[in-house]
């Protein structure tokens, strides 16, 4: 039987590389931005409005709409720059294909829905529903390519 010191050694953790720190900073900042906007959205709603009504038909105050739009746009731009400076070739390829799949998930149904609405066969096209569809497709393709 071979002798080992497995039980006696402690696992040491290497410090994160600058690139990895940027990567997690970009993802963490994006999550914080989303959380702030989500919390702010809830705080902006009148009492008694449920989440489904808030997301689909609820009105927003002008100050919230302007603030959230600016915060989303500027925050996303900063997070994207940090993210793209931190990713490697494998992740970049997954990100690019996922983005393309998400784009396809938007451009195929959007004109179909619009034409069907113009003919009175469908309700008006919902941009947010199309956006969510594209984000779900983007996430599924990205995760599949990154972790397969």
Stretch among 81-90, 94-103, 110-119 having the lowest mean pLDDT:
81-90
The structural domains of the chain, with segments of one domain joined by +, span 17-87, 88-148
Q: What angle do CA 69, 103, 64 make, to 5 degrees?
A: 10
Report the alpha-carbon distance of residue 97 to residue 75 in Å, rounded.
23
Choose between 32 and 47: higher pLDDT: 32
pTM of the model: 0.74
Mean pLDDT for the stretch of residues 3-11: 60
pLDDT at position 2: 57
Buried-state track 67-92, b at ≥16 Cβ within 10 A, e below 16:
ebeeeeeebeeebeebbeebbeeebe
Average the pLDDT over 88-108 and give the result: 96
Q: How confident is the model at residue 17 (pLDDT cuts 50, 70, 90)?
A: confident
* pLDDT tens digit sequence for 56-81: 776 788 999 999 999 999 999 999 99
Average pLDDT over residues 8-13: 68
From residue 117, give the alpha-carbon distance in Å to each of 111, 133, 139: 10, 19, 28
């Amino acid at each position: 039987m071979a002798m080992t010191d497995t039980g006696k050694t402690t696992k040491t953790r290497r410090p994160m590389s600058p690139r990895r720190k940027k990567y997690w900073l970009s993802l963490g900042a994006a999550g914080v931005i989303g959380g702030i906007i989500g919390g702010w959205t809830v705080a902006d709603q009148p009492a008694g409005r449920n989440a489904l009504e808030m997301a689909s038909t609820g009105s927003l105050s002008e100050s919230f709409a302007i603030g959230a739009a600016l915060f989303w746009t500027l925050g996303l731009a900063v997070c994207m720059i940090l993210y793209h400076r931190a990713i490697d070739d494998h992740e970049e390829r997954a990100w690019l294909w996922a983005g393309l799949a998400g784009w396809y998930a938007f451009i195929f149904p959007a004109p179909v829905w619009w034409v069907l609405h113009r003919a009175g066969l469908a309700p008006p096209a919902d941009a947010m529903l199309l956006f969510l569809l594209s984000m779900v497709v983007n996430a599924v393709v990205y995760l599949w390519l990154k972790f397969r």
